[in-house]
Amino acid sequence: MLLKNAMVCHSDFQFRRSDIHIKGKIIDGVYSVSDAQGPKDAMSSVQCDSACALTVSGDVQIIDIGGYYAVPGYIDIHVHGGGGADTCDDSATAVFELSSHLARYGVSSFCATTMTIDEPSLMAALTHVDHFFRDTPNGAKLIGVHLEGPFLSPSRSGVQSSEVLQLPEINLVNKIESRFPGLLKIIDVAPELPGADEFIRTFSKDYALSISHSDADYDITRRAVALGLRHATHLYNAMRPIHHKAPGPVCAILEDSSVTAELICDLVHIHPSLLALTFKILGPNRAVIVSDAMRGAGMPDGKYKLGNALVKVYNGRTDFGDGRLAGSVSSVAEGVRNLVSIGVPLEDAIRAATINPARVIGVGQMTGSIEEGKLADITILDDRLIPVLTICEGRIIYQSTMNTSTSGATIDRNGENVHD
C-alpha cells in the first residue's frame, strides 16, 4: 500500500508533505516530497485536488490522500463501550461491535475498559475479551484491558457499583493474569485504601497502576507515586478537587514528571480553560486523551446501561441522576478537535491521542508514531480533523465515502517494483 500526497505527522510530530509506503503490517518508509510545506492551521481549509482518491492495481493499493492529514492511529486506553455495545456485556460479539465502532472514529488500537462488577461477571466478560484479544480484529485492535474497579473508594465511586467494591486484592489480579496472560495493561486503584501500598509495590513493574475514583489527599498520592503509581485515570473527575490549602491528588499528579494523566476532552467533564491550562502544565509528553465512552456513544439519545446503572444520554452528555456524569459519549477524535479549538497546538493534541497512550501501556516501540519499522497504524483526517480513513496493521478498517478508480498502474521506486 502507498499513501501519496499526505500532510504526514512525522515521528517528531511535525507535519511535512510526504508519501508513506506500507509493506504488510509494517511502515516500510516515509518519504518527504520535495515541495513540502508546513501544515496549515488546523480547522482551516486544506486545498486538495481530490480527497483520498483510491487506485488499486494488481500489485499494490495506491491512495492519494489529497493533502489531508496522516497521523498515527488513535489509541483509546479508556473506553467502556460504544455503538450499543459494552466491554462488560456477557456476549461474544460485544467487543467486535465496539472494535468496529471505534474504527469509525480513527481509533486503530484500544484498551477495553471494565466497570466494577462482581467477580463471576468480570471473569465471564474477560473471557469474551480475551478471545477477541487473540483473534484477528475486524476493526480497531485490542491491545489489552483497563481494569477500572473493583479497587476504588466507596466515597468516590460515582456510577461504579459500590456494593461490589473491594480492597486492593493481589490474589484477584494474579487469578486474572493466570487465566488471561498478557491481557491486563492498566489497573486502577484508590491509594488511600488499606492494602494499597503493598498492591502498588507488588505490581508497579508489571502494569500501569492508576489512581482512580479516589478520596486520597496530596500526601497519600505523593506516597503512592513514590511506591510506583505512574498514571491518573480521568484527571479531576472522581477525586478530591484542588483547594488552596489542600492541593489534593491533582496537584500531586501535575507536579511529578513521572506521572501521566488521562483527560476526557469532551468540554463537559472539564472546563475548557482548565483543560487548556492542564495541557500547558503537563507538557507534550504526559497528557493522554481518553473517551471514557459508554455504549451510548454513536447512538441516538436515550437510556443505556453502564455497569448496573441506567444512564440517560442527551445533547452529547450522560446523566445518571441529578446531572451526575457517567462516562461520556465522546471520542478521541472529538477530543483532538476540541483541544485545537481551545488553543492547544495540533501537534500536542495528536501526541496525546497516539504516542503518549502507547507509552503508558508499554507499546510505544511498536505503534503510536509514523516511522519506518513500526506497525502501520494510521488515521487520515480531513481539513476539519474528522477521520476519513483508518488503517490498522496495514489493513483498512474504516473508510468514509471516497473517490475510487481502478488502474493497472504499479509503483516503481528507484527502479524497483514494490509488491505487497
**CA–CA gap between residue 185 and residue 207 (Å, rounded):** 5
Q: How confident is the model at residue 38 (pLDDT cuts 50, 70, 90)?
A: very low
Query: pLDDT digit string (tens) for 277-308?
Result: 999 999 999 999 999 999 999 999 999 999 88
Q: Which CATH number fits domain 74-367: 3.20.20.140, 3.40.630.10, 3.30.1360.100, 3.40.50.920?
A: 3.20.20.140
Alpha carbon separation from 225 to 2, 36, 197, 249, 294 (Å, rounded)? 44, 44, 10, 10, 29
Q: How far, in Å, CA of 187 to CA of 211, rounded? A: 9
H-assigned helices in 40-181: 94-103, 119-133, 170-179
d(CA 274, CA 264): 12
Decide: 169 and 148 in contact? Cβ < 8 Å. no
- The distance from CA 124 to its chain's CA centroid, rounded to whole angstroms, is 24
First to last CA, the chain: 7
pLDDT value at residue 46:
33
What is the average pLDDT value for the chain, to the nearest integer?
90
28 carries an active-site annotation: no
- Comparing 37 with 267, the larger pLDDT belongs to 267
- Residue 53 clears pLDDT 60, i.e. is over it: no
**Superfamily the domain 1-34+48-73+369-401 falls into:** Urease, subunit C, domain 1 (2.30.40.10)
Q: Are strands 2-9 and 69-72 parallel, antiparallel or unpaired?
A: parallel
Residue carrying the nine cell digits 466515597: 155
Q: Output the CA–CA distances (angstroms, integers) from residue 259 to 36, 209, 276, 282, 396, in the order listed.
A: 36, 10, 18, 9, 34
Select which of 292, 348, 377, 383 is catalytic: 292
Please check whether residue 223 is in contact with residue 191, taking contact to mean a CB–CB distance below 8 angstroms.
Answer: yes
Helix-strand-coil percent breakdown of the chain, rounded to 5?
Answer: 25, 30, 45
Beta bridge partners of 392: 395
Q: Which residues of 369-399 are buried (b: 16+ CB within 10 A; e: fewer)?
A: bbeeebbbbbbbbbbebbbbbbbbbbbbbbb
> By the 8 A CB rule, do 189 and 151 touch?
yes
Q: What distance in Å separates the CA atoms of residue 95 and residue 411, rounded to the nearest whole number?
A: 37
The confidence score (pLDDT) of residue 321 equals 87
Residues 84-99 have a mean pLDDT of: 95
**Hey, which residues does 310 pair with through a beta bridge?**
305
Q: Does residue 382 have a pLDDT over 90?
A: yes
Q: What's the maximum distance between 2 C-alpha atoms anywhere in the chain? A: 70
CA distance 414 to 175: 54
Q: In 3-state terms, what secondary structure has residue 326? A: coil
DSSP H helices, 261-344, are 272-282, 332-341
HSE at residue 408, side-chain half, CA atoms within 13 A, is 0
pLDDT higher than 90, residue 1: yes
Q: What is the pLDDT of residue 107?
A: 98
Cis bond upstream, residue 150 (ω within 30): yes
Q: Which letter, b or e, does each residue of 50-73 get, where b requires 16 or more Cβ atoms within 10 Å of its Cβ?
A: ebbbbbbeeebbbbbbbbbbbbbb
Domain residue extents for the chain? 1-34+48-73+369-401, 74-367
Residue 411 has what pLDDT? 27
User: pLDDT tens digit string along 123-149?
Assistant: 999 999 999 999 888 899 999 999 999
Instruction: List the beta strands (DSSP E) in 24-92.
Output: 26-32, 53-56, 61-64, 69-72, 74-79, 81-82, 85-86
Higher pLDDT, 43 or 413: 43
pLDDT at 418 over 50: no
Residues 61 and 22: their CA atoms lie apart, in Å, by 10
